[in-house]
Amino acid sequence: MLIAYVAGLLAGFGGAVGITVTCAAIVLAVAATMRRAAWAALAALVAAGAVTADAARHAEESCAAAALRSETLTVVVDAPVAPGAYVRARVASCPVTAWLAVERGTAPAGATVNAAGQTIASTRGIVVQHARVSVRRGAGLLSRWRTAAGAGIDSVFHGDAPLARALLIADTRGLSPDVRDRFAVAGLAHILSISGVHVGLIAVALDLLFTLLGASRRVAALVSLGVIAFYVAMIGFPPPAVRAAVMLGVGIVTRLAQRPTSPWAVLAVGGVEPVFDSSVAADLGYQLSMIGVGALIAGAALVDRLALNRLPRWTRSIVAAVVGTTIATIASAPLVAWYFGRVSLIAPASNLAAGPLIALAQPMLFCGMVLAPLRPLALLIADATHPLLAGLDRVALWSAAVPYAAIQVAPTRLDGVLAAIACGAVLVACASREWPRAALVAIAAVAALAWRPLAPGPSSLAELHVIDVGQGDAIALRTPHGRWVLFDAGRAWAGGDAGRSTIIPYLHRRGGALAMFVLSHPHTDHVGGAASVLRALQPARYVDAGFPGGASAYRASLVAARDARVRWTRAHPNDSVVVDGVTITFLAPDSAWTASLADPNLASVVTLVRVGDVRFLLTGDAEGPEEDWLLANEGDRLRADVLKVAHHGSRTSSTAAFLAAVRPRLALVSVGAGNTYGHPSTSVLAALGNAATGGAQVLRTDQLGTIVARTDGQRIFLEAGGEKWELPRSPAP
Ligand SMILES: [Zn+2]
């Protein structure tokens, strides 16, 4: 019943309400004529879910639209507010995320504030630029506790504090991108966000502690439940933690009432949150946690059925752990693949190794946080926890370093549905006595999935095409699904432009839709063909730095975008878009930085494109000062295999410090033959080739024409000037 309702909700959020309700109505009619009451009930639930979700989605959209129109937003901030900060917040009146680029005012984390400024829509919610913040209501008691707990963690755990913050109070802001990346590749990302497992481990430890202190079982259970409830409230009710706490509560109550209950029933009660708040159904943490617990219960049932009674007790529990972990990893793989475009093959092994470490570390971390006021004791615990956390990081590091630890996938909707059916059937086959039927369904779904081209063939490569448009930039990124993201659109001249003459025919010949257009800055050699491209190819989105002014071609592009109903959004540092498994992250420009500038070059949108382990850095016409800003603010993320050399190789860009930070293996210069600017500069070319900065291979469009770099996420294959070759791998550092 719950699954049917949640499935309906998901369909509704996915925008498929019409087709879902139609299908449900057909099933309902058929079931009514066949007198199958259960079927009819399920169909009705699916329809109800879809309609509810659709209504919620519309309410959210109209609320967000109203917020965008208003001069002043009332929001609850997630982090301390200070001038210059870029803070995440929640709109008070609707479940919409807002980001404040703070110009004036201060406020503590958790406070409700009025933010006046310029509101614009962005990929990750509403952005308030030049926000002037005034406190409306101070932080609530719970968020003050959370802030205090964070300070306690920092003072006790020192170097381990970022990891401890993530594991204890669901604050992942301090984790470096490298740590996140290696946990993701190792299939351990779920450890970094608080899930039911974390809460469950703390509960078990508390129960044990109170029992040791001499409390009766009943008292111990109830007191730990109270502590857990307070803890979940303090960390802001993340859905997986709520699910775990509710399940714990139900488990304890049924145990105290001595009424043994099916674990499935307990799970259903724990997963009931979407009935009260439909948006929870779309929460990745909620979905993963429901699947994970379902898989563990199914695994336990399977171990029971395998009749391992003859094995010694400890062997049996190890087998149970291995089976449970493996099933959980397999069952959650489709969801992870869908959201992150990645399947971690090492996950079953890495989870097995990480499991005992986290099981020991989590209760100790919790004690360290609670005992922070008793400093010597807390420090002792922190010291004891350190090897466990270091071990956890080692497991992630080693697992991520294994060849083919993770593979890139780009599943379509149909792939997703097939994989979900396969996983559901596997779970049923594990848990149910009538397993043959379920196993048959699983095999059929897997067969259908295997028949579909998931990865093989040249289409599984992502491609970067530096199109020869003479003096100017036009860089087309092709996803493994054959869709395009275009960065800049070349120049314009009297009576024509590079969009019409070169770019549109180039993309048409190869096929595939344009998903997004990114403009680095509004100079004519970049925006010249934009209006033609937007009119002809109608991408879903147009992203740029929002720098005021610029060439007439820029204004023409905005008009074209409006006419073609292309959504315009501003690039913000750290905004990421994933297109068919390719991650596109904007690193610059920062709005505060842009506001003080007169030269659009210096406000170039700088983009990091990641395909597996391969990184492309696209820099537009950024010059020295912006490179310095990047070094100061994004220094640890600039390293890239492929660099689109800034400003056509001008000597005002590509400073030594910047090249040393990027250390590209391949440098691509988009420049017109015989241009009057003297691009590219010989000193920049020398610096790029210099062994001291890694010694990049330099390719120029004025010599080779269009250059194509293809990658599978590991290796890079080049095609230019009628030749094909593989880029040598970087020598070991
Ligand atoms: Zn330029």
Please, what is the Cα angle at 522 between 532 and 582, to 5 degrees? 75
Tokens of 221: 């259970």
Distance (Å) from CA 148 to ligand 1 centroid: 50
Distance (Å) from CA 347 to ligand 1 centroid: 45
What is the tens place of the pLDDT at every residue in 702-711?
Answer: 888 889 999 9
Label residue 559 by pLDDT band (50, 70, 90): very high
* Highest mean pLDDT: which range of 54-68, 155-169, 426-440: 155-169
Cβ contact 459:483 at 8 Å: no
Distance (Å) from CA 595 to ligand 1 centroid: 21
- For the residues 7-22, what does the mean pLDDT come to? 65
Q: State residue 618's pLDDT score.
A: 97
Q: Any idea which of 65-79, 231-245, 689-703 has the lowest mean pLDDT?
A: 689-703
The CATH number of the domain covering residues in 462-726: 3.60.15.10
Distance (Å) from CA 462 to ligand 1 centroid: 25
Q: State residue 392's pLDDT score.
A: 92
Distance (Å) from CA 472 to ligand 1 centroid: 5
Cβ contact 703:680 at 8 Å: no
- For the residues 664-684, what does the mean pLDDT come to? 88
What is the tens place of the pLDDT at every residue in 262-277?
Answer: 777 777 777 777 777 7
Written as one letter, the residue type at 680 is P
Distance (Å) from CA 646 to ligand 1 centroid: 8
Cβ contact 533:515 at 8 Å: no
**What phi and psi values does residue 592 have, to the nearest 5 degrees?**
-65, -40
Distance (Å) from CA 724 to ligand 1 centroid: 28
Residue 466: Cβ-neighbour burial (10 angstroms; 0-12, 13-18, 19+): buried
Tokens of 27: 């099933």
Tokens of 318: 């190890």
Cβ contact 526:621 at 8 Å: yes
In this model, does residue 124 exceed pLDDT 60?
Answer: no
Distance (Å) from CA 479 to ligand 1 centroid: 25
Distance (Å) from CA 694 to ligand 1 centroid: 26
**What phi and psi values does residue 209 have, to the nearest 5 degrees?**
-60, -50
In this model, does residue 354 exceed pLDDT 80?
Answer: yes
Cβ contact 575:585 at 8 Å: yes
Distance (Å) from CA 174 to ligand 1 centroid: 36
What is the tens place of the pLDDT at every residue in 23-56?
Answer: 777 777 777 777 667 777 777 777 777 777 777 7
Distance (Å) from CA 473 to ligand 1 centroid: 7
Q: State residue 4's pLDDT score.
A: 63
Helix axes 239-256, 263-270, angle to 10 degrees: 140
* 3-state SS assignment for residue 174: coil
Label residue 733 by pLDDT band (50, 70, 90): very low
Label residue 527 by pLDDT band (50, 70, 90): very high
Q: Any idea which of 276-285, 595-604, 672-681 has the lowest mean pLDDT?
A: 276-285
Q: pTM for this one?
A: 0.57
Distance (Å) from CA 555 to ligand 1 centroid: 17
Rounded to whole angstroms, the Cα distance separating 94 from 108 reads 21
Distance (Å) from CA 622 to ligand 1 centroid: 9
In this model, does residue 492 exceed pLDDT 60?
Answer: yes
Cβ contact 646:670 at 8 Å: no
Distance (Å) from CA 645 to ligand 1 centroid: 11
Distance (Å) from CA 494 to ligand 1 centroid: 18
Label residue 562 by pLDDT band (50, 70, 90): very high
Rounded to whole angstroms, the Cα distance separating 256 from 259 reads 8
Q: Answer with the residue of higher pLDDT: 421 or 575.
A: 575
Distance (Å) from CA 621 to ligand 1 centroid: 5
Distance (Å) from CA 612 to ligand 1 centroid: 29
Distance (Å) from CA 526 to ligand 1 centroid: 6
Q: State residue 409's pLDDT score.
A: 66
In this model, does residue 510 exceed pLDDT 70?
Answer: yes
Question: Would you kindly state where each structural domain of the chain is located, as residue ranges?
Answer: 2-65, 72-139, 145-409, 416-450, 462-726
What is the tens place of the pLDDT at every residue in 222-246?
Answer: 888 888 888 888 887 877 788 888 8
Rounded to whole angstroms, the Cα distance separating 362 from 167 reads 7
Distance (Å) from CA 525 to ligand 1 centroid: 5
Closest CA to 87 of 68, 106, 70: 106
Distance (Å) from CA 701 to ligand 1 centroid: 14
Distance (Å) from CA 527 to ligand 1 centroid: 9
What is the tens place of the pLDDT at every residue in 163-200?
Answer: 888 888 877 767 765 577 678 778 888 888 777 778 88
Distance (Å) from CA 523 to ligand 1 centroid: 7
Contacts of 105 by beta carbon, 8 Å cutoff, 6+ apart: 81, 83, 113, 131, 132, 133, 134, 135
Distance (Å) from CA 556 to ligand 1 centroid: 18
Q: Which helix (H) or strand (E) holds 113?
A: strand 112-122
Distance (Å) from CA 718 to ligand 1 centroid: 24
* Highest mean pLDDT: which range of 301-315, 331-345, 696-710: 696-710
* Highest mean pLDDT: which range of 10-14, 80-84, 401-405, 491-495: 491-495
